[in-house]
Amino acid sequence: MLVFARQTEEEQQVVRIGHVVQEVVRFIRASIPASIEIQYDRRADAHVMGTDTRIHQIFMNLMTNAAQAMGERGGIIRVVIRPPVVTSRDAEKFPQLTQGFINICVSDTGPGIAGECLEAVFDPYFTTKEKGMGTGLGLAVVYGIVEACNGVITVRNNPDKGAQFNVYLPMVSQTDALPSQETGAAQAPDPGQGHVCLVDDEPAIVKLNQRILTRMGYTVSAYTDSEAVLAAVKADPEQYDILVSDMTMPGLSGEQLAGALIQVCPDLPIIICTGFGKSLADLSLSRPNIRAVLKKPVPTAELSENISRILGRGDSR
C-alpha cells in the first residue's frame, strides 16, 4: 500500500533494464509449468532510474499474472523490450511517451480480461481470482512503482486472445550510469571464489540460484531441506565458506538453522533471504553468524555483492 500511495522513501539509482528483465524471465521460466512458453525479444536496451528490487517486482508480478491467467492449459508469455510503439490514443493521453522512453511489453495468450474489469485492474484489492488465490495487490503495486519511476503503464485486452501490458519508463543517458558503476552497482559480478551452501525449500529457486552462483565461479552445494544442511555441516564443518538460506522452511527455519550451526561451526557466515520484514539488527541480536538479510526477490548483483563482501573482508573462517 505504501508503494501504491508513493509513500516509500528509497534512493533511486541507475538500472539497466535489459539485465533486470532477463533475470526475471529466467526466474519465471524455472517456476511455471512446462506447458507455458516464454518468448523474450530484446530489440533495445536502456538505463532507467529506480531500484533493482522495485524494477524486478514490476516484471515479476506481470509475468506471474500472465502465467496464472493461462494456468496448466499453457500458452505463450511474450516479453519485448523495444522503443515505444505509441498509439494515437496513448499519445493524446500521455504526450511524454513520444520521446525519451523505453517500452517493455508483457503479453499472454490467456482468456483476456473481462471488459467490466479492465478499468479496475490497477485498483488495490481488486482481483478476479477465486477466494484465497490472490490479494488484488499485485497490479496495484506495479502501478505504484511505475508511477514512482515517472513512468506509464497501459493495458490492452483481446478477449479469448490474452492481455497486453505496456510499461514505459523514462531513459537516462549512459553518462548518468557512471556514478552508480563507480560506487559498486556492478553490471557484471566479479568471478567468485569459495564453496557456497545454498538451501531453499522451493526446488525451482534452488535450481536457479545454483546456476547463477555457479556462473559467478563459486562451487555450490544445493539443498531443499534445512535439516539435511545441518547434518552435512556436522559431518564436515570445514567444507563450506558461506551459507545462503531461505528464512521460511519446513523443519528448521533459516533463523533456527543459524542458531543450530553456532554450536557446530560458529565461524560459518550466513546470508538469510526473506520475503518478510525481519532486519539484520533483529536477527543478529541472537544469531551473530547471520551477516546479511536480503529481501526477496534478491537481484543477482545484490547477492553477488554480499557474498563477495562477506568472504572478502575476513568474515569467513
CATH of domain 195-312: 3.40.50.2300
Q: How far apart are CA 208 and CA 202, in angstroms?
A: 10
Name beta bridge partners: 171.
48
What is the architecture of the domain spanning 13-180? 2-Layer Sandwich (3.30)
Q: What is the pLDDT of residue 282?
A: 59
Residue 148: its H or E element: helix 138-148
Whose CA is closest to 219, among 228, 210, 232, 230?
210
Tens place of pLDDT for every residue, the chain, 317 residues? 444 444 445 567 888 899 899 889 988 888 888 899 999 999 999 999 888 888 998 999 999 989 988 888 899 999 999 998 787 888 888 888 877 899 999 999 998 876 666 666 776 544 555 544 444 456 888 888 898 888 999 988 877 788 999 999 999 875 554 444 433 333 444 556 889 999 998 887 888 888 888 888 889 999 999 999 999 999 999 999 999 999 889 889 998 999 999 989 999 999 998 876 555 555 555 678 999 988 877 777 788 889 988 988 444 44
Q: How far apart are CA 70 and CA 54, in angstroms?
A: 25
Q: What is the pLDDT of residue 200?
A: 92
* Residue 313: Cβ within 10 Å count: 10
Number of residues that make up the chain: 317
Strands (E), the chain: 13-16, 36-42, 47-50, 75-82, 101-108, 152-158, 162-172, 195-199, 219-223, 242-246, 270-274, 290-295
Q: What is the pLDDT of residue 118?
A: 60
Q: What is the pLDDT of residue 36?
A: 93
Domain boundaries, the chain: 13-180, 195-312
